[in-house]
Amino acid sequence: MSSTRKIIVVTNAFLFSSGIESLALELSGLLVEHVYTGSEKKLSQKIIGAKPEFVIIDPEAIKDSLIPLLRELNEDPEIITIGLVNSSTSDNIISRFSNTLNTTGNKFQLIEELQRIVGKEVAKSDNEQLISKRETEILKYLVMGYTNQDVADKLFLSIHTVMTHRKKINRKLGIKTVSGLTVYALMNNIVDIREVERSI
């Protein structure tokens, strides 16, 4: 989940392309790599060549060549097609996309839909490699309310080693207090809210 997942958008409407870019920004890990208009030459080759994970298409932008384009894109197993639809879009068109986004939805609904399509894991930000595995383990115990001595006993380390790790964690994250570390650990799913309830 460390790499960003690419989106290509096909639309003539600026409102759609800029709207999608702002939605992608809400879900970190997503990147709108390119926006094409429907009249772009060799559109399908360009899209497939860019190896995107998602292609969001406004059917209005392509009209006649929509069905052949979708047929080509759907042959590539790596590509997920998403149609921008509304209540007047015909079922014939809707059924050719692997997913759809309803353009009349409000921001919240659109983000929900997009998140459902791209999968939950992209919503999490990507901080894991910031602290090492050992440090993450120690962080976890600290925010659960264990003392340095407890952690040392649990992990068969000297208290001095625990303190050194602790200082490293503080420095790497820029967070010194246990309450601050708790927020960090919860945001990054290092601990579960139930595990820290006593200590926060």
Secondary structure of residue 55 in the 3-state scheme? strand
Work out whether 2 is an interface residue with other proteins (CB under 8 A).
no
Work out whether 173 is an interface residue with other proteins (CB under 8 A).
yes
Q: Which of residues 54-113 bind other proteins (CB under 8 A)?
A: 107-108, 111-112
If you count them, how many residues does the chain have? Answer: 200
Q: Which of residues 28-47 bind other proteins (CB under 8 A)?
A: 28
CB of 165 to other proteins, least distance (A): 18
Strands lying side by side in the sheet with 80-85: 30-36, 5-10, 54-57, 80-85, 99-102
Contact 124, 1 (CB under 8 A): yes
Residue span binding other proteins (CB under 8 A) among the ranges 23-31, 56-64, 136-144, 153-161? 23-31
CB of 80 to other proteins, least distance (A): 19
CB of 79 to other proteins, least distance (A): 24
Q: What are phi and psi of 82, to 5 degrees?
A: -125, 125
Q: Distances from the Cα of 121 to the Cαs of 2, 27, 73, 163, in angstroms?
A: 10, 10, 24, 33
Q: In 3D, which of 69, 9, 5 has the Cα closest to residue 35?
A: 9
Q: With respect to other proteins, which residue has the nearer C-beta, 125 or 149?
A: 125
Q: Which of residues 102-161 bind other proteins (CB under 8 A)?
A: 107-108, 111-112, 115, 123-125, 127
Q: Which residues contribute to the site for other proteins (CB under 8 A)?
A: 22, 25-28, 107-108, 111-112, 115, 123-125, 127, 173-177, 179-180, 182-184, 186-188, 200
